[in-house]
């Protein structure tokens, strides 16, 4: 089974702090993604990466950066956390099966910025 793990399930940070969210997948997938999920807004793509050291902006990259130094690890960085970044953060990797690209999600990190 594909396993995607995230470093924390719950995180509380203060405004202005630098925050690191780590994600690791064990299936040698090329593509990895970071989303945030908010009530009524659904899943919104922040960044994705299709190879080591490669990254592409998603729909809402402002206030975030990412790092992919190794194939299995994709990190999301909040340079200076703000209260509007309080959210559920979901990491995913993807593979191509039976006619389409399917995503495998981690358990999520619920971040509260005070």
Partner 1 sequence: SQKIEQNSEALNIQEGKTATLTCNYTNYSPAYLQWYRQDPGRGPVFLILIRENEKEKRKERLKVTFDTTLKQSLFHITASQPADSATYLCAPSNTGNQFYFGTGTSLTVIP
Binding site residues, partner 1, CB under 8 A: 4, 31, 33, 40-43, 45, 48, 50, 56, 58, 90, 92, 94, 97-108, 110
Nearer to partner 1, 17 or 90 (CB): 90
Residue 88 Cβ, how far from partner 1 at the closest point, in Å? 8
Residue 69, number of CB atoms within 10 A of its CB: 9
Q: How far apart are CA 105 and CA 86, in angstroms?
A: 19
- Considering the complex, state which of residue 13 and residue 110 has its C-beta at the smaller distance from partner 1: 110
Give the nearer residue to partner 1 in terms of CB position, either 18 or 41.
Answer: 41
* CB environment 13-29: b (16+ within 10 A), e (fewer): beeeeebebbbbbeeeb
């Amino acid at each position: 089974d594909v396993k995607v793990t995230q470093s924390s399930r719950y995180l509380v940070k203060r405004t202005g702090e630098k925050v690191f969210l780590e994600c690791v997948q064990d299936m040698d997938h090329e593509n990895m993604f970071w989303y945030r999920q908010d009530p009524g807004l659904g899943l919104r793509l922040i960044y994705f990466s299709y190879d080591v050291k490669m990254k592409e902006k998603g729909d809402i990259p402002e206030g975030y950066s990412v790092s992919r130094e190794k194939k299995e690890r994709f990190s999301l960085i909040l340079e200076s956390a703000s209260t509007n970044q309080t959210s559920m953060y979901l990491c995913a990797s993807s593979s191509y099966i039976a006619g389409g690209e399917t995503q495998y999600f981690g358990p999520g990190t619920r971040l509260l910025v005070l």
